[in-house]
Chain A
Amino acid sequence: MKRFDLWSHEIGRAGPAALVMPPALVLLTGLLALFGTRLGSLEGNTAWMLLGAVEAGFPLMTGIAAASLIGRDPAVELQLTLPSGYRVTLLRRLAVTSGWAALCATAATALFMATGWWDVVPGTPGGLAGQLTWLAPTVWLTALGLLAAAAFRSTVAATTTVAMVWLLEQVVGDVLRGNAVTRSLYLFATSHGAGADDWSVNRVTLLVTAMALLAAAWPLLGDAERVLGGETE
């Protein structure tokens, strides 16, 4: 019962904003798929935008949400004295927002696969592997958001970092795809036409490096003095 209480508390605490955004994106992309052609968008263009929205939209949401996780507790000193560790609480909180976004992203991807939109863009992986389209960049940006929040101890700095990385990946994608190392870490490889081999390497590299980012964040989050000493403004 206690466990259920904790989870329901975190769901309530996540707030309507974090819970409404992912389904809103599913709804918007669904409307685009339904009415895009009628609005004058070419089929190829609509399909590419749907793919781009799934691959870039969900990571941006979860990344910014993860970056805003710390520093919102009015009495964190009390939390740090509880038997349930603060890190576990943060992970539970992260699981609520990211898990919900992941559910929505899975549903959107499955929907576009079932309706044939996924096959319009050549070379887009289907089936279970196709879910890596959003999963890899989402996990990576979420891990980056959490690490930035733990390292900077400031929500505004962490969210800015996530926003900056997301935007850079969009703006200087050509430069990043031109180098073997940055290509394997490029977040939006699916919508920018990576070859099948490159794509698999890219997705696996993203997942592995995301774990490294999380591992780097873990000790920082466990440091009670650090958590307490965050920027209060």
Chain B
Amino acid sequence: MIATLRYEFGMQVRRPILWIVYGLASAALVGLMWQGYVVPTLGLGDPDDPRSAMIAVSQTVMTLMPIVYGCLLADRLIRDRTLGVAGILDSTPAGRTGRLIGKYLGVCAATAAPIAVMYLGRAVVYAVAEGKPQALGWAVVLFLVKIVPALAFVGALSLAGPLLVPPLVFRVLFVGYWFWGNLIPATMMPTLSHTVLSANADYVEYGLFGDPSTAPGADYPPYGPWDGAALNLLRPLASPAVAFLWIGLMVAMAAVALFLARLHAIRTES
């Protein structure tokens, strides 16, 4: 598993195309999401407060980057079969489960590396420019508890998805899913957006890092059920427990996706 992890990480992180596409994405991020990335506020928090600034940057980064991350991962698991090396790899002493987990961790870490650079890089710039080094601490914690669980799930979905449906269909569905299930307002149509099952939900910020609606002078509703939205059952009021529930659900859904990929391998084996 460790050998697969190291090899897959190295192979993915050295792909020039990975950095070129992320370069385009970060140019778009800086150019079009100026408010949020360069000016670190989305209207809710104070950009001078390192905690709310880092929250705003994390939310901005996680609006666009998971689609790049997911699409770049979509060919990794089916690659062994398209190249015809799956059979050779099967004949090695490395077990299939170990190889799957190694590949998952390796390619996900490599594909998430540019996101880490983009997010933590912004934190460094903020810390230096504003003279507030605590921003770095907030950024690292937010990266670990908000960005990593979301990417863990999206990564597993993108690896397993093209095994279960044709890659072309998966790519179209994945873009549709990210927009419908994570970005649209919950009242637009029945959606998973802003539920505990959404990779882009804000439960961690509101549950663990202080609810801006409780700040003095704020007139924002608390994060949770939306008035008149369907599936509000899946939108409990934000609290530390719900934030941990969200993290647990992301990891569990990643495990389910990988389990399905493993089952698929067993089915094609026989």
Binding site for B on A (CB under 8 A): 15-18, 21, 41, 45, 49, 57, 60-61, 64-65, 68, 152, 154-157, 159-161, 163-164, 166-168, 170-172, 175-176, 231-233
Interface residue B179 (Cβ < 8 Å from any Cβ of A): yes
- Write the chain A residue with the least CB distance to B71: A160
The answer on a CB contact under 8 Å between B17 and A65 is no
Contact partners of B179 in chain A: CB under 8 A: 167, 170
Per a CB cutoff under 8 Å, which of B33, B71, B165, B174 touches A156? B71
Contact partners of A64 in chain B: CB under 8 A: 168, 171-172, 175
Chain B interface size, under 10 / 10 to 19 / 20 to 34 / 35 or more: 35 or more
Can you list the 8 inter-chain pairs with the closest CB atoms, starting with the nearest?
A160-B71, A17-B166, A157-B17, A172-B32, A163-B175, A17-B168, A17-B169, A156-B75
The answer on a CB contact under 8 Å between B24 and A168 is no
In whole angstroms, how far apart are the Cα atoms of A174 and B71 in the complex? 25
The answer on a CB contact under 8 Å between B67 and A21 is no
In whole angstroms, how far apart are the Cα atoms of A16 and B63 in the complex? 32
Give chain A nearest CB distance to B261 CB in angstroms.
18
Interface residues of B in 164-190 (CB under 8 A from A): 165-169, 171-172, 174-176, 178-179, 183, 188-189
Contact partners of A166 in chain B: CB under 8 A: 175
In whole angstroms, how far apart are the Cα atoms of A152 and B21 in the complex? 9
The answer on a CB contact under 8 Å between A49 and B68 is no
In whole angstroms, how far apart are the Cα atoms of A114 and B167 in the complex? 35
Contact partners of B25 in chain A: CB under 8 A: 164
Tell me if A's interface is mostly helix, strand, loop or mixed: helix
In whole angstroms, how far apart are the Cα atoms of A229 and B63 in the complex? 34
The answer on a CB contact under 8 Å between B168 and A176 is no
Interface residue B28 (Cβ < 8 Å from any Cβ of A): yes
Per a CB cutoff under 8 Å, which of B75, B83, B183 touches A155? B75
Give chain B nearest CB distance to A173 CB in angstroms.
10
Contact partners of B64 in chain A: CB under 8 A: 164, 167-168, 171
In whole angstroms, how far apart are the Cα atoms of A82 and B20 in the complex? 33
Give chain A nearest CB distance to B180 CB in angstroms.
10
Contact partners of A61 in chain B: CB under 8 A: 172
Contact partners of B17 in chain A: CB under 8 A: 152, 154, 156-157, 231
In whole angstroms, how far apart are the Cα atoms of A127 and B11 in the complex? 52
The answer on a CB contact under 8 Å between A68 and B175 is no
Contact partners of A68 in chain B: CB under 8 A: 167-168, 171
Interface residue B74 (Cβ < 8 Å from any Cβ of A): yes
In whole angstroms, how far apart are the Cα atoms of A61 and B168 in the complex? 9
The answer on a CB contact under 8 Å between B72 and A156 is yes
Contact partners of A155 in chain B: CB under 8 A: 75
Assess A15 versus B32: contact at CB under 8 Å? Given A160-B21, A161-B21, A231-B17: no
Give chain A nearest CB distance to B248 CB in angstroms.
28
Contact partners of A163 in chain B: CB under 8 A: 67-68, 71, 171, 174-175
Contact partners of A157 in chain B: CB under 8 A: 17, 20-21, 72
In whole angstroms, how far apart are the Cα atoms of A164 and B188 in the complex? 22
Chosen A-B contacts, 21 in total, with CB atoms closer than 8 Å, are: A15-B166, A16-B166, A45-B188, A68-B167, A154-B17, A155-B75, A156-B71, A157-B17, A160-B72, A161-B24, A163-B71, A163-B171, A164-B21, A164-B67, A164-B68, A168-B32, A171-B63, A172-B32, A176-B32, A232-B83, A233-B15
